[in-house]
Structure 1
Amino acid sequence: MKHTQAHERSTDLGEAGPTGAGGGRLVGSDRVLAVLKALARHPGGVGLEELTRAIGSPKPTVHRALGALRRAGLADQDVRGRYGLGDEFLRMAFAHHEARPEHLRVRPVLEALAHRFGETAHYAVLDGHEVVYRAKVDPPAGAVRLTSTIGGRNPAHSTAVGKLLLAGRLGTLAEVEAWIGTAPPARRTPRTLCTAAGLHRELTATAAQGYACDDQENETGVNCLALPVFLTSPTMPSGAVSVSALAYRTPLTVLVDALDEIRALLGRLGEPYR
């Protein structure tokens, strides 16, 4: 997701401040993109002073970046002088999302799962050490719902969809160790698997059984069951479908007991499930 050039450095706001991962200051297009990302974090709008502090660049340069974004329709300014994402940005984002073939194909299955269990159904793909949610359907009723969003991310090692997709890529302990690298995975809850050996055992079991579970490993009080989706290849999953449930409302055992029913719903996609 991040691209580094010899004369430019990019950064994630809130992590590296005004400089990129390699120490270089934001310049040119990197600054414009940093402003765009900052606007996305403020759906209610943000003032120039606050935006300048968040970017860590001089006010005139941030103002020029905003001008470029406004001319392209990617940013807008309201009557209070606060800036936000423009209509053209939203149009492009939603048009791109709606046109994705996997989103269109998977959504009816997600709707069926959400209706059947009264819980949230997701479709997610693997992106490095994280999973990205490409589609989400909330249950038709229920006062308590998950806060996940389309385009949102979670660590792969602590989620059912992540472990399912990693199981097809990391077959040995050495591969798991190389994937983890020198920094241990973040411990999201007391149940999160944070060692190479523990994660390897979990991925081995996941590969053998054809599904993955998240037993309150990513968020306390939320469990999840995930199965693979083969939209682009008969052997390599393009992503995973999951049912994410509030543990007090739908225990993990309920989801596991309904595996055959979930597989039958996924069978509507015409895929070779085990």
Structure 2
Amino acid sequence: MKDTRPPNHATAPEDSGTGRADDNRLVGSDRVLAVLKELARHPDGIGLEELTRVIDSPKPTVHRALGALRRAGLADQDVRGRYMLGDEFLRMAFAHHEARPEHVRIRPVLETLAARFGETAHYAVLDGREVVYRAKVDPPSGAVRLASTIGGRAPAHATAVGKLLLAHRLDTREAVEQWIADAPLARRTARTVYMVDGLHRELEATRERGYGVDDQENEVGINCLAIPVYVTSRIIPSGAVSISALTFRTPMKALVDAVDDIRRALGHLGESGR
């Protein structure tokens, strides 16, 4: 009787109940994604030899992953033979970013705040133990600007936006202790609050005043004040807007004194349903 199964069924390894066949397929997918992520780290391109070494996979395997990405338009190869992200990937990424509700609604606020303070304004969301920057606007003038990038990450416990968002989720000492668990928090600077009791007290103070602060806790010479933003919910903040300032140019007291101005700039985006 003729076998009518698709060809890949005929050649795929049998699953003996250990999940090995599925694991092999997942490894292959993970490898393609690892190649894609590595390409994003090399705007000028990367050669096959170097890519193979970084990914720590056989050259033929990496080459096949590149082939799949190129066919999808997600990777490209220049005249030097170096690989980079493809135009289709960039088109998708920019289109997605521009269409995000927070980008459309929050960027004008960031532009206002950056111009008002002459400092960098961010919008960030919480992702586990880190915050992810979704939008950023640099000041229109000023020789010194922050190196943060859209999509970049920072430890939540050491940032104003992170502590503000954690304050809405970790409302007891026990919750803070469970969040830290067996993975100690990094002490980014001498001012970083990284122990359970200290962080619990900091989150309590943040809830009471309604804004988060970072007084050179993530990076020496930079302080920050963050206000919650309610884009998708009127109960739990979807993220936070912050002013990240150079301490010699805009000290923490200047940010705290202007907190009402920052709230007014946010308008209805800073209003909760409580």
Give the TM-score of the pair, scaled to structure 2: 0.89
Q: Percent identity?
A: 75
CA contact (8 A) 1:229 1:237 kept: yes
* Pairwise CA RMSD: 2.1
Residue 103 of structure 1 deviates from its aligned partner by 1.2
2:135 — aligned with what? 135
CA contact (8 A) 1:267 1:273 kept: no
Task: Please give the secondary structure, in 2, of the residue aligned with 1:260.
Answer: helix
- Give the aligned residue type for 1:131: V
For structure 1, the 5+ residue unaligned runs are 11-23
2:221 — aligned with what? 221
Aligned positions of 1:1-274 closer than 5 A: 7=20, 27-267=27-267, 269=269, 271-272=271-272
CA contact (8 A) 1:8 1:30 kept: no
- Deviant stretches of 4+, over 3 Å: 5-10
Describe the shift of the 1:229–1:8 C-alpha distance in structure 2 as closer, same or farther (beyond 3 A): farther
Describe the shift of the 1:6–1:198 C-alpha distance in structure 2 as closer, same or farther (beyond 3 A): farther
- Give the aligned residue type for 1:144: V
1:14 — aligned with what? none
Deviations for 1:205-238, whole angstroms, at most 9, x for unmatched residues?
Answer: 0001000100011111111000000112211111
Residue 269 of structure 1 deviates from its aligned partner by 3.5
For structure 2, the 5+ residue unaligned runs are 1-17
- Give the aligned residue type for 1:171: D
Task: Please give the secondary structure, in 2, of the residue aligned with 1:154.
Answer: strand
CA contact (8 A) 1:263 1:273 kept: no
Describe the shift of the 1:25–1:223 C-alpha distance in structure 2 as closer, same or farther (beyond 3 A): farther
Residue 7 of structure 1 deviates from its aligned partner by 4.6
Structure 2 Cα separation of the partners of residues 9 and 164 of structure 1: 41
Task: Please give the secondary structure, in 2, of the residue aligned with 1:232.
Answer: coil
Describe the shift of the 1:109–1:231 C-alpha distance in structure 2 as closer, same or farther (beyond 3 A): same
CA contact (8 A) 2:227 2:270 kept: no
CA contact (8 A) 2:130 2:155 kept: yes
Residue 248 of structure 1 deviates from its aligned partner by 1.0
- Give the aligned residue type for 1:71: R
Describe the shift of the 1:174–1:272 C-alpha distance in structure 2 as closer, same or farther (beyond 3 A): closer
Deviations for 1:80-111, whole angstroms, at most 9, x for unmatched residues?
Answer: 11111000000000100001011110111100
- Give the aligned residue type for 2:62: V
CA contact (8 A) 2:158 2:188 kept: yes
CA contact (8 A) 1:109 1:268 kept: no
Residue 71 of structure 1 deviates from its aligned partner by 0.6
Between the two proteins, the alignment pairs up a number of residues equal to: 257
CA contact (8 A) 1:160 1:214 kept: yes
CA contact (8 A) 2:234 2:273 kept: no
Structure 1 Cα separation of the partners of residues 36 and 169 of structure 2: 34
Determine which structure has more spread, i.e. the larger CA radius of gyration.
2
Give the TM-score of the pair, scaled to structure 1: 0.89
Task: Please give the secondary structure, in 1, of the residue aligned with 2:149.
Answer: coil
